[in-house]
Structure formats: structure tokens, C-alpha cells
Amino acid sequence: MREIVFDTETTGLDPFKGDRLVEIGCIELVNRIPTGQTFHRYINPQRDMPAEAFDVHGLSAEFLADKPLFADIAEELVAFLGDAPLIAHNASFDLGFLNAELERLSRPAIPRSQLIDTLLLARRKFPGASNRLDDLCARFRVDTSRRVKHGALLDAELLAEVYLELIEARQAQLGLESAGASRVLVAASAAPRVRPVPLAPRLTADEIAAHRDFVKTLGDDALWRDYLPAPTEAAAAEDATREKAAAG
């Protein structure tokens, strides 16, 4: 199953009052595992950058002036998103801006049925608690040390980790990995490998004989007797000779 976690940065809060996208970042998940495939673009909004928005993401009009227009990236973006479920935090905000940009190009809107809103998931899981992305990262111990200001790709990466925690997919993956490891261990113990050519013995015949003599002093019930290899005919003859000599 393919899913896309995404985030946007904008010039403000309302796409119907002239605010525009300035950044989009997307993370691909397949079977709830990040694949390493991403889509990240800065976008020239063709307007000024309000101070309030700049304080959030730090993207100035000067920085964005030479970046592509949304029209230049739209086809590549739509192809990357495909028909996969789209995961975002407060998803209606991001989708509203994305669809406003698509509408300007007379392209089809992305249906709301394609959205998964992690804010709603968090409110169901933690009713009454603060469920901002920062709060969820702290709750799930997701490392945010790289996050100085908001950035679409970094926030999408953090949200992907939070999403997996919210739906408890990470624990399920760990369980599957443990079960897989157990199956490997069971299979290995059920069919032990045997060396085609035995290793050369590291003990001399005298050392082996001395060990046998020591074990005999421990009594008939000594555990060591269970692990002694059967003596060869020559070793048995030597043992008998030593016993006769000791008896005098």
C-alpha cells in the first residue's frame, strides 16, 4: 500500500484572499515504511511575504524570487501524489491551498476522500489534549532537534513518524521483525549444519587421558560423564594398563 505524507508552507492563512503556496514537501510510504522517495519544491508565490508568515518559515520573497512557479511543478507533483492516500496534519488547510493552486491552472481538484488527517486521529486518541505537531513529537519522543523554523519537507518527515505512532504501525513492524527473527532461529536449530571435514583435535592424547582420569574421581553420577566421547580401542587399552599399574 502506497501513502504520501505531505506538508505545505504558505504566505498566509486563506487561499481565497490571495495567499499562495511557497513550499511543499512529500514523503512516500509503502506498507507504512518510508521508501526514501520524496518530492520537495520551493515555489515563487508571485507576491510579497507578510512578516507573520516569514516568522513561521523564514522564506523571504527574495529567496523565492528565482524559484519555479506552481504551474512549472504541477504536473510532476500530481504524478508523484497519484491516487495514494494523502496524510497531513490539519489536512483541510493544506488541501485547500493545494486545490486553490490547481484551480488556477484549471486542473482537477484532489478529493477530500483521499485525505487522512493526523490531527483528527490525534484528537480521537488523546481527547482534550493539545495535539499540535510539536506536542505529538514530544509525546512520541520524535527528535525535533533539527527544527528551528517550519519547513515543509522536515515537517513531513516528522509527521510520518508521528503518523506511524498514531496508527501503531511501528509496534506492528517491530512485532513482525521479532517473529521473523524467531522463525529464523527455530529453522536454524531444527537443521544444524555439520562440518564436512571435522576440525583437527586441539588436545593431545595425554591431555584427553588425564581428563578421563580426573572425571573418574568424581563418582559414577558426575555430569561430566555424559559429555565424554566414547574412547577408542587404543584409549581403552591404555586406560586398562594405567588402572593395573595403579592397583600395583
- Active-site residues: which are they? 150
Q: How many Å apart are CA 133 and CA 123, to the nearest integer?
A: 12
Q: Helix axis angle, 152-166 relative to 118-125, nearest 10°?
A: 40
Q: How many Å apart are CA 20 and CA 10, to the nearest integer?
A: 6
Grid coordinates given for 62: 527574495
Q: How many Å apart are CA 94 and CA 76, to the nearest integer?
A: 18
Helix (H) or strand (E) holding 92: helix 91-104
Using DSSP, state whether 196 is helix, strand or coil. Answer: coil
Phi and psi at 25, nearest 5°, equal -135, 135
